[in-house]
Chains A and B, each alone.
Chain A
């Protein structure tokens, strides 16, 4: 059974960089057709897609966050990571790492990490 686990600081100061890592177990991050991504949810609000990466390194980012987001993958560690620069209070959210699956006519997010709350505050 595939499992994903987020790790990283729970508190980040304004203007600094948020860094999170997702460790994948029970399967290979290099599997064909599996994509890996980050989704966040501000307290009491809805889900927002941040970005997605394929094991080859191809990335896709939310246009509204693209200038501040960088997602990378480390196949040797079966991990992928998120960096979000110049954070502000509006970036306070539960951050989920997740596995996506793309077909020609739909996308599914079929495995989710438990989520980690990141608070932006001085």
Chain B
């Protein structure tokens, strides 16, 4: 399968920890990358590879992977983390990119 599946919506209390998941067969072969998108803005890469953060991304963002599931964890969620989050990987052929449907994170 070339699809990546995400929960449509997740909520977290301010300062608590939240995990956003992404499932797909290709994740057994490839790591996911994760993107944060706020309204009216382009997505921003927050995690790539096994667990790498681009410069400027807070260390409360981390990534992990197990079997066909990739996870983005925000430890100590802040109000500014409220956004849509997308996972991305290659499909099983390795030649095509796929995105998950996105998860809307609400910080309560």
A residues apposed to B, CB below 8 Å: 37, 39, 46-49, 52, 60-63, 96, 100, 103, 105-110, 112-115
Contacts and interface: CB of A to CB of B under 8 A. Distances in A.
Given A46-B86, A62-B96, A63-B96, A106 B32 contact: yes
A46 B101 contact: yes
Contacts of A115: 42
Interface bin, chain B: 20 to 34
B45 interface: yes
Interface of B: 29-33, 35, 42-45, 48-50, 54, 86, 88-90, 95-102
A107 B88 contact: yes
A46 B102 contact: yes
Contacts of A113: 42
Contacts of A60: 95-96
A46 B43 CA distance: 11
Contacts, number: 67
A114 to B, nearest CB: 6
Given A46-B101, A46-B102, A60-B95, A110 B45 contact: yes
A49 B48 contact: no
Contact of B49 (A46, A62, A103, A109): A103
Contact of B99 (A47, A106, A114): A47
A106 B42 contact: no
A52 to B, nearest CB: 7
Nearest to B42: A112
Contact of A47 (B32, B95, B102): B102
A109 B45 contact: yes
Contact of A46 (B42, B48, B99): B99
A48 B2 CA distance: 13
B97 A52 contact: yes
Given A105-B30, A105-B31, A106-B31, A37 B97 contact: yes
